[in-house]
Amino acid sequence: MKRLIGIATLSLCLTAHAEFKDGNDLLSDINAQDSFSRGVALGYITGVSDMGMGVVHCPPPNVRAGQLLDMVKNYLTNTPAERHQTADVLVNKVMKMVWPCAAKSRGNPT
């Protein structure tokens, strides 16, 4: 029983803090000399972008991963005062600024 409670407590602690990267960490990975870190950055950006697609931002269908990386890199480089924010928030912010979703109409259009 104690083991079950310990596992449940650990699970709650791990899920309570989902922000693994901030903007400083992401920019560091983007600018890293090793291809592994750059790949981690690219994977992170595309993953966050995929999760927000159609809800937070609505990019055109022909957008490339390298384009997303360039956009995020430029934003992080040019806005150092915001880099303390979590990376997922910053990636979604960049995408939403460039490709906001059209506002949905409410009610009947009569």
Q: Where are the domains of the chain?
A: 19-98
pLDDT of residue 45: 96
Q: Which two tokens stand for residue 102?
A: 């059209």
The model's confidence at residue 107, banded by pLDDT at 50, 70 and 90, is low
Long-range contacts of 98-106 (CB under 8 A, 24+ apart): 98/57, 98/59, 98/71, 99/57, 99/58, 99/59, 99/60, 100/57, 100/58, 101/54, 101/55, 101/56, 101/57, 101/58, 102/58
- By percentage, how much of the chain surpasses pLDDT 70? 76
pLDDT of residue 16: 44
Radius of gyration of the chain (CA): 18
* Spatial CB neighbours of 87, under 8 Å, sequence gap ≥ 6: 19, 20, 21, 22, 23, 25, 26, 44, 48
* Spatial CB neighbours of 100, under 8 Å, sequence gap ≥ 6: 57, 58
pLDDT of residue 66: 95
Residue that wins the pLDDT comparison between 19 and 43: 43
The model's confidence at residue 106, banded by pLDDT at 50, 70 and 90, is low
pLDDT tens sequence across 32-80 = 999 999 999 999 999 999 999 999 999 999 999 999 999 999 999 999 9
Which helix (H) or strand (E) segment holds residue 110: the answer is none
- Architecture of the domain defined by 19-98: Orthogonal Bundle (1.10)
